[in-house]
Amino acid sequence: MRRDAWRVPIPPHLHGKAPRKHWNANALAFLGDSVWELYTRRRFFYPPSRKDSYFSLVVEHVRAETQERLYQQLLDSGFLRDTERDVLRWGRNATGVTPKRLSDTGLKRETYRAATAMECLTGYLYLSDPDRLHAMMSLLGLGDAPADGGEAASSSSGGSNSGGRRSSSSSSSNGNN
């Protein structure tokens, strides 16, 4: 397989139904969380490194604080179509109260809402337009790894790994976003 031809697994066929008519925002965010983490893991898999190096890079990029920063970057970029802005707003408004396990870490409600919006858009694009998803992830520095193995354009959220939305064991499987 060519390096530039990589994509996530093929989404299910929706038989002409729009994702927003088939799933609610939280369901799309649940799916988007997994897709986001897959892109992130793939992005940092090259160059070969130690498992703890992979882990720390991935954790840094799946944190709510990083997703909030990328949310703002995406809004400011001019990349988004009107329907994508609507999906972001829909996902942002779908989150209620920040879960206690996350609020105990000091995570702000707005940070959690922005992260959920990003995951909702990721799930939506995965189902409706995988090529557009890949373009968005590339814009955010989570597409293909650079040939020189350098860091992604968005390599750091400027904070430590503590206080993030994820636990030290990757939480994409629990769906509690």
> Please, are residues 119 and 177 in contact by the beta-carbon 8 Å criterion?
yes
Q: CA-CA distance, 14 to 52, in Å (whole number)? A: 38
Known catalytic membership, residue 86: no
* Distance between CA atoms of residues 88 and 110, nearest Å: 13
Choosing from 33, 76, 86, 148, the catalytic residue is 33
Give the Å distances, CA to CA, from 13 to 29, 49, 126. Answer: 18, 36, 11
Q: Which two tokens stand for residue 120?
A: 């909702």
Which residues are CB-contacts of 13 (< 8 A; sequence separation ≥ 6)?
A: none
Specify the 3-state DSSP secondary structure of 106. coil
Q: Active-site residue numbers?
A: 33
